[in-house]
Structure 1
Amino acid sequence: MSGTERQLIVNGQQVQWENLLKSGDRIFIGTHAAVPHALLHDLTDHCQHFHDIEIIQIYALGDNHWVNPEYSQNFKVNSLFIGGEKVRKAVAEGRADYTPAFMSDIPSLFSEDILPLDAALIMVSPADQYGYHSLGVSVDIVSSALRSAKKVIAQVNPKMPVTFGQAFIHKGQIDAFFEAEQELPEISAPELDAVTERIGQYVSLLVEDGATIQIGFGKICDAVLRYLSNHKDLGLHSELITDGIMELMLSGVINNRKKTYHQHKAVTSFCIGTKKLYDFVNNNPHIGFYPSEYVNSPANIARNEKMVSINSAIEVDLTGQVVSDSIGHHLYSGIGGHVDFTRGASMSPGGKPVIALPSTAKDGTVSRIVPFITEGAGVATSRAHVYYVVTEFGVASLRGKSIRERALELIRVAHPKFRQQLLEEVRKHYYVPHYQVLHSVEVPELGPVGFKEIVINGEFFDLRPLNPSDERRLQEFFYSHTKETLQMRYNTVPTQMSREKSCTLVSVDQSRDLALCIVRQKGSMAQIQAVGRYYLLHDEKSCEVAFVTRETQHGKGMATRLLEEMKRIARERGLERMMAYVRSENGKMLAVFERAGFVRKPSEEPGEVYLQLNLNDVSKDSE
């Protein structure tokens, strides 16, 4: 690179930094993959002329050399999102500051002179024939910074992609130019482990065909994108585009066809990834890069029906409070767009805000589902905003749940070795009754995701284990029965299903006994349609089976479907016999058992039929 290429040019004339900046100024630098590193290296090479310049930045890919201790008298970083170990270390040592802010709110900090900017140092593409430069891979808060700054100093980089949307700045708006070619920093997709894969699989199950998604950055988010490869007609309204998003667009999974806001266009504000991604967004008319105040506006996000926001977190407490920017007193990252999209998705018709995180940290020694927020940590997302929390142990549904129900849901997806401890802790602070016990809630025989989506008479249901947070649902299910159903199931007509009784019925050791249910699930709404149980008998080789079905579902085959699953699971667990006791006048239930291969045996109770199935006698199995 020649010397003339590295000159600061104003009105065709070379100038010095002293002509553009002065000590005590506040300057903004470009973001993410669009940091003007050559321009900043030139500034630090001449920094002997300046003292106490405040640098406003968010996540800046690259070396961040200006935060090094040797520049502490010249520059002080004020980071609105902490990115990278160098900035993190400087914040921890007091050499840099962290200012928490929503991405959607940062532009107003500039425009309202809360953080007035003396200059914005940005990177742009070369001007087109009309005199417009593109902001390229980062429009986000760069757009607002250059509008508010007293001076705009731009590194013109031939390697910067040209992006569309609201991504252009006319050359007449730029005060000084710095011609310097620079490769954009690249980040490749991370390697995934089994835990991350399982989380990605669970989250993908929450995304319906035709939904619009927002997704963050990192291993978990990359895993989610891989498990969306078989979805159809997804849309994108996300502050960030990665290589994983690109692959879904290339395959047609993300086609934006069913979006209700900016239909047929992917909406974003910046991208981070490999050169393949940067080439993909270059001159791509199907992607619109817009400012953060537009993309991250909860009102705009909510204009997308079935909006799903997917973000990670550092810890979640048992009431649903989410920490995403700090580990105790240690400031780690930032709020970014996390809350903007969580709020927007919660306002969207059919929307789903999702928090996904591993159940443990520090090689499994620390639970990330915690009874209370770690001292010094900050709550980024309130307990009312999050609908789902996902770990490798499943999906906790929080919307509309009481504190007690939330605690039980979150304990269910915590790592098993921490569940008892969490239950004991939560009893000290929240109303989880003394009779609530903790058992194994997983049924691995149902497959890796722990439940099955089934179709009965053309309607979709979930077949899954009963769990402790189903206590109220089971009460509702009980009170939906007629007296005749109760008589057939219980040989009496019980008039009450107390909370304690319901708690006992849903607190099942699924590793020994089995309690399955068929649930009509729509978002956070779940209604039990049928329950099937078996109780392991003392010989531990046989079990007793019982069913009950919601009145409106009688005769549709739900009991048969549950019995099929229970037979299969009993066989896999090495059981030899299943037995059942049915009232003689209950012809429909007798038919269910006999179609499944159960044989009537002599009964000691009048009016009761005893049935038995030899699980080893496959010749009598109707499956």
Structure 2
Amino acid sequence: MSKHHLPPKLTEWKHHLKSGDRIFIGSNAACPHALTEDLVKHANDFRDLELVHILILGPHPWTEPKYARSFKVNSLFLGPGTRNSVASGVADYTPCFLSEIPSLFTDGILPIDVALIQVSPPDQYGYCSLGPSVDIVSAGWKSARQVIAQINPSVPRTLGQSFIHVSQIHACIEADRPMTILQPPELDDVALRIGQYVAQLIQDGATLQMGIGRIPDAVLRALGDHKNLGIHTEMFSDGVIELFRSGVINNTQKTLHPGKIIASFCMGSQKLYDFVHENPHIEFHPTEYVNNPTVIARNDNMVAINSAIEVDLTGQVVSDSVGQRFYSGIGGQVDFIRGAARSRDGRPIIALPSTAKNGTISKIVPFLTEGSGVVTSRGDVHYVVTEHGIATLRGKSIRERALELIRVAHPAFRDRLLAQVRTHHWVPDYQITQPSRVEELGDPQQVKVRLKGNVYCMRPLHAADERIYQEFFYSLDDETVMQRYRYHPDGMSRQKACEVVNVDQTRDLALCIVRCKGPHHVILAVGRYYWIEQENSGEATFVVQEGSRAKGMASVLLNKMIEIARKRRLNRLVCVVRVDNKPMRKFLEKYKFETYAGSEPMELRMVLPLNPAPVPAVQPVMPAESPQAPA
């Protein structure tokens, strides 16, 4: 360290602050703990100092009751060190979007008298780095009357808008302290399943925002097979490191700051702090820039992943409070949800476990807990993901949203949610079946299928498909409808569509292949069987949209139906086929279906014995119409 470049040493606190001042404290892993410890030692010299900060890792001695006459906390984001103080009324919580907190300082709404920050030693030009927290620290020191720094050789030297010159520091102490560590969380099965579902919404070349914790880490773990991902996020942790080193994260397709990870702070292990130290591929910028929704939206294919405490059946998101008890803060959730929504092909996602308190409480609720505050409005939410699947909400009616969210709620709460929501007439009386999963599919329930160079999704039909099944039905021509239903239905009412898509998947089976464009799904093919209990057999049907034929969709569906039927120990699958439906007959014959006379002159009964008939090793392709005569 060059002594020539060091600012004056801190000698007396009274030289820099007075009773009644507002003091800003550096954020997250960059809290200047040596400075705050020394300030607390001199607490009796001052009265009514207001300490302003967001989340801080490590001890918060200034919140102890014995210092109440000297210090009053005004927290802009709560953590373990401030939660109880706010709940007991001895500290304040000020809600604000993280992107707008800096303007509280610069516009004089919360004018800062003294900023306490932690920095790296100065370089040969006299510039210190703010290290792992630029976030609101940048605005904090720039708007302060006095800046007091803890100069710490352990602070990683980060790049970007992260520098302060020693001439801008009014006093300092030198204290070599290890960086505050945040150990990566253990990932449980629920988090891993959520990560798998969220990963399905992330396309190659996407730019990601994620937080820290189980769900973000689980998402990152599920991205190993993705390509050309980028990062524009307010914060990140250790999960990014391996994806960057493997080349999955390379930032090459970012439309803003290509080639760079953009963040405002990071928290994690020493490995993370070593990773960001003088790393030219990472830039740290203030939150008024990183979290600005307009800036975020300049990243095409922006994916924002945030969590919640609870979500109601209209899509309202609570993430800063548990009832009347404040838990965290608004943070950057709304900034990134709105930025991703404005991005070209952007995807704002709320991801959360379906239950809390060991499965005793549903986090999908019919109405919000009394006292809870909405952080993200129902108009902002596009996707809600739990370990039970993906609910797509954008463009959905209140009734459709309710059905989508019930589907991803924990099964133990679905009947109750359906009954409660019906009292508000969001769901009609004919909607009686709760969503059920196809256990034999495992997790995730929605899987990608690549056919003829295009990617589709295969998943179970579910209650919220009522409207898109109507669209599917009306997209079929008269011949297809006749071959499927064996007569000409006069329409597909919402009630009839509801009956078709409400399937007890533990008894019957209904799978579909869909084309996904953002939150909108288009059904292209449906394969299903109805269980005939007396025979322990399944009566199977297929229908493929005309423009999607000859791509192998029926083959994918039938293979999966045969696999599931065998696991359920069915004796046979039966298809009733019209005599003139030669393509379907030829297709089924490839799977060794045996042909018998049907109950009607124009029908055939085609039967596949499941024990021990083998499934073809190679998936057949839908054949062209054959002139072969019926058996």
TM exceeds 0.5? yes
CA distance in 2, matches of 1:468, 1:184: 50
CA distance in 2, matches of 1:90, 1:472: 49
Q: Which residue of 2 aligns with 1:494?
A: 489
Q: Residue 42 of structure 1 is aligned with which of 34, 38, 42?
A: 38
Q: Residue 474 of structure 1 is aligned with which of 448, 469, 474?
A: 469
Q: Which residue of 1 aligns with 2:613?
A: 618
1:346 aligns with 2:337: no
User: RMSD in angstroms over aligned alpha carbons?
Assistant: 1.6
Cα deviation digits, residues 365-404 of structure 1 (max 9, x gap): 0000000111000100011212111111111111111111
CA distance in 1, matches of 2:467, 2:219: 31
Q: CA deviation at 1:349?
A: 0.7
Q: Which residue of 2 aligns with 1:31?
A: 27
What percent of counterpart residues are identical?
A: 56
Aligned residue type for 2:71: F
CA distance in 1, matches of 2:76, 2:425: 35
Cα deviation digits, residues 133-181 of structure 1 (max 9, x gap): 1111110000001111111111111111111100001111111122222
CA distance in 2, matches of 1:556, 1:253: 30
Aligned residue type for 2:166: K
Q: CA deviation at 1:28?
A: 0.4
Cα pair distance change 1:620/1:226, threshold 3 Å: closer
Moved more, 431-440 or 108-117: 431-440
Cα deviation digits, residues 158-210 of structure 1 (max 9, x gap): 11111110000111111112222221110111111111111111111211111
CA distance in 1, matches of 2:261, 2:319: 26
Q: Residue 113 of structure 1 is aligned with which of 108, 124, 130?
A: 108
CA distance in 2, matches of 1:359, 1:411: 10
TM-score normalised by the chain length of structure 1: 0.96
Q: Which residue of 1 aligns with 2:590?
A: 595
Cα pair distance change 1:583/1:147, threshold 3 Å: same
Q: Which residue of 2 aligns with 1:522?
A: 517
Alignment coverage as a number of residue pairs = 615
1:289 aligns with 2:292: no
1:248 aligns with 2:250: no
CA distance in 1, matches of 2:503, 2:230: 40
Aligned residue type for 2:31: V
Q: CA deviation at 1:540?
A: 5.1
CA distance in 1, matches of 2:197, 2:182: 25
Aligned residue type for 1:60: I
Aligned residue type for 1:580: C
Q: CA deviation at 1:438?
A: 2.0
CA distance in 2, matches of 1:452, 1:44: 56
Q: Which residue of 2 aligns with 1:81?
A: 77
CA distance in 2, matches of 1:292, 1:233: 25
CA distance in 1, matches of 2:514, 2:533: 30
- For structure 1, which runs of at least 5 residues remain unmatched after alignment? none
1:451 aligns with 2:438: no
CA distance in 1, matches of 2:614, 2:173: 83
Q: Which residue of 2 aligns with 1:91?
A: 86
Aligned ranges 1:151-162 → 2 under 5 Å: 151-162=146-157
Cα deviation digits, residues 90-142 of structure 1 (max 9, x gap): 00000100001111000111111111111111111111111111111110000
CA distance in 1, matches of 2:171, 2:10: 9
Q: CA deviation at 1:537?
A: 0.7
Is the contact between residue 316 and residue 376 of structure 2 (CA under 8 Å) also seen in structure 1? Answer: yes
Is the contact between residue 441 and residue 465 of structure 1 (CA under 8 Å) also seen in structure 2? Answer: no
1:150 aligns with 2:141: no
Cα deviation digits, residues 557-603 of structure 1 (max 9, x gap): 32232222111111110001111111111111111222221111122
Q: CA deviation at 1:247?
A: 2.1
1:581 aligns with 2:569: no
Q: Residue 16 of structure 2 is aligned with which of 14, 20, 23?
A: 20
Q: Which residue of 2 aligns with 1:401?
A: 396
Aligned ranges 1:270-289 → 2 under 5 Å: 270-289=265-284
Aligned ranges 1:158-169 → 2 under 5 Å: 158-169=153-164
Query: SS of the counterpart of 1:209?
Result: coil
1:172 aligns with 2:130: no
Query: SS of the counterpart of 1:375?
Result: coil
Q: Residue 323 of structure 1 is aligned with which of 298, 313, 318?
A: 318
Q: Residue 198 of structure 1 is aligned with which of 193, 206, 213?
A: 193
1:513 aligns with 2:508: yes
Cα deviation digits, residues 328-385 of structure 1 (max 9, x gap): 0010001111111111111111111111111100111000000011100010001121
Moved more, 324-333 or 379-388: 379-388
CA distance in 1, matches of 2:450, 2:222: 22
CA distance in 2, matches of 1:186, 1:205: 31
Moved more, 130-139 or 445-454: 445-454
Q: Which residue of 2 aligns with 1:127?
A: 122
Cα deviation digits, residues 16-51 of structure 1 (max 9, x gap): 111111111111000001101111111111111110
Q: CA deviation at 1:430?
A: 4.5
1:332 aligns with 2:327: yes
Query: SS of the counterpart of 2:59?
Result: coil
Query: SS of the counterpart of 1:304?
Result: coil
Query: SS of the counterpart of 2:448?
Result: strand
Aligned residue type for 2:313: L
Q: Residue 552 of structure 2 is aligned with which of 548, 557, 569?
A: 557
Query: SS of the counterpart of 2:564?
Result: helix
Cα pair distance change 1:12/1:459, threshold 3 Å: closer
Q: CA deviation at 1:546?
A: 1.1
Query: SS of the counterpart of 2:503?
Result: coil
Cα pair distance change 1:601/1:621, threshold 3 Å: farther
Q: Which residue of 1 aligns with 2:305?
A: 310
Q: Residue 381 of structure 1 is aligned with which of 376, 379, 400?
A: 376
1:390 aligns with 2:385: yes
CA distance in 2, matches of 1:109, 1:621: 67
Cα pair distance change 1:559/1:10, threshold 3 Å: closer
Q: CA deviation at 1:78?
A: 0.4
Q: Which residue of 1 aligns with 2:419?
A: 424
Q: CA deviation at 1:304?
A: 0.8
Cα pair distance change 1:619/1:500, threshold 3 Å: closer
Q: CA deviation at 1:447?
A: 3.1
Q: CA deviation at 1:221?
A: 1.1
1:56 aligns with 2:56: no
Q: Residue 436 of structure 1 is aligned with which of 408, 422, 431?
A: 431
Q: Residue 66 of structure 2 is aligned with which of 70, 78, 100?
A: 70
Aligned residue type for 2:356: A
CA distance in 1, matches of 2:10, 2:330: 40
- For structure 2, which runs of at least 5 residues remain unmatched after alignment? 619-631
CA distance in 1, matches of 2:345, 2:614: 48
CA distance in 2, matches of 1:93, 1:110: 26
Q: CA deviation at 1:617?
A: 3.7
Q: Residue 608 of structure 1 is aligned with which of 567, 579, 603?
A: 603
Query: SS of the counterpart of 1:489?
Result: helix
